[in-house]
Amino acid sequence: MIENIIVGAGLSGATLARKLADKGDKVLVIEKREHIGGNTYDYIDTKTGIRLSKYGAHIFHTNSEVVWSFVNQFSEWNMYKHKVLSYVNGKHVPVPVNITTVNELFDLKISNISEMQSWLKENQVKGEINNSKDSALAKVGQELYELMFENYTIKQWDLNPSELEASVLERIPVRDTFNDRYFSDKYEALPSNGYTEFVKNILDHKNITVELNTEYNNSIHKSNKLFFTGKIDSYFADKFGKLEYRSLNFNYKTYDIEDYQPAAVVNYPSLEYPFTRKIDYKKFYNTKSKYSIIAEEFSSSIGEEYYPVPTKKNRDIYSKYQAEAKKLEKNNIYFVGRLAEYKYFNMDQAILSALELFDKIYKK
Ligand code: UDP
């Protein structure tokens, strides 16, 4: 019997596979899709030379030295500074909210930190923070909340921010400066040859075998240890009920335009637009082409799973699965990753979670 089976060849699965393989274990990775990389899967469009991500834009960012040093073993990285603009009242304004956002939308002339802090203080809504609405109001106040966050969130989650755990809108900070970078982590980068190549390099080891187009089946797939990175509710045949996931759909359009929009990502928070954002793919790798490929991003409850939905209801269901999963550890069955841990992980968190699980098992 093979020592390890890993279900799923996304970031968590690939990271664990590599750690186990480096330790000398044989690993079989089974993946139901026809490709590795999970939702980071990318490829180059042959007509334009533009790199596209099948499942939406992925920008790697981390503060973790451990993760950064791990990922650097498998790819060169292009330093990248992600910027997002939001299309509000006919203007492109920075997200996260900064001094420029407030000046543009309210026709003000705030010029320094202390003026911005006063503006925020006057507008921020104080009170207990129980959900994403509270957290956004506490950061940016009622007007910006309505203009930039409320309807975007309704489109993305099909829920009012008041129904979502605070953590969702806490992802977006507010800045009292002119800083217009989306992320504030120490490292922010894109793999020089793309994510697919990066994950391929992680899995490129004599002890690792990858089988694509293969559904996990517990009567066929026997191993001493099992690492499951798929949906935790599916593993348990939905016995405590189905967990909700949000999916995304993309409408790709190729334009004969060199510079389509003023940032790689432009958000559309208004309900006038059915999509949440437009991604201008050539901007990530600065690809020279006379064309632009734009993906309009639509959120949906149907389709492949992208996001766990952080509500109290799902949290409660998940804790039942989690307790069940914990019991299986004595049989060497482990659950790891965004779908198996039902957490809105960024890529670095998915990798870190896999590294930590490995350490928990082998470095006791
Ligand atoms: N969000 C919003 N307006 C924005 C950007 C984000 O309301 O202009 C909210 C929305 O609910 C979104 C969440 O903040 O789902 C997290 O945004 P992030 O950009 O981190 O989402 P991701 O890139 O992971 O889809």
Q: Closest by alpha carbon to 247, among 157, 132, 341?
A: 157
Tell me the whole-structure pTM to 2 decimals: 0.97
Residues with CB under 6 A from ligand 1: 86, 95, 148-149, 152-153, 156, 168-169, 171-172, 267, 269
Residue 202: which residues within 8 A CB-CB, separation 6 or more? 14, 15, 17, 18, 74
Q: Residue 277 CA: which ligand 1 atom is closest? A: 8
Q: Closest by alpha carbon to 153, among 260, 250, 268?
A: 268
Calculate how far, in angstroms, residue 166's C-alpha sits from the geometric centre of ligand 1: 12
Q: Residue 164 CA: which ligand 1 atom is closest? A: 11
Could you count the other beta carbons within 10 Å of the beta carbon of residue 176?
19
Q: Residue 153 CA: which ligand 1 atom is closest? A: 11
The pLDDT confidence band at residue 189, using thresholds 50, 70 and 90, is very high
pLDDT digits (tens, 9 = 90+) for 128-184: 999 999 999 999 999 999 999 999 999 999 999 999 999 999 999 999 999 999 999
Residue 106: which residues within 8 A CB-CB, separation 6 or more? 143
364: pLDDT strictly greater than 70: no
Q: What confidence score (pLDDT) does residue 99 get?
A: 98
| Nearest-angstrom CA–CA distance, 34 and 146 | 41
Calculate how far, in angstroms, residue 169's C-alpha sits from the geometric centre of ligand 1: 7
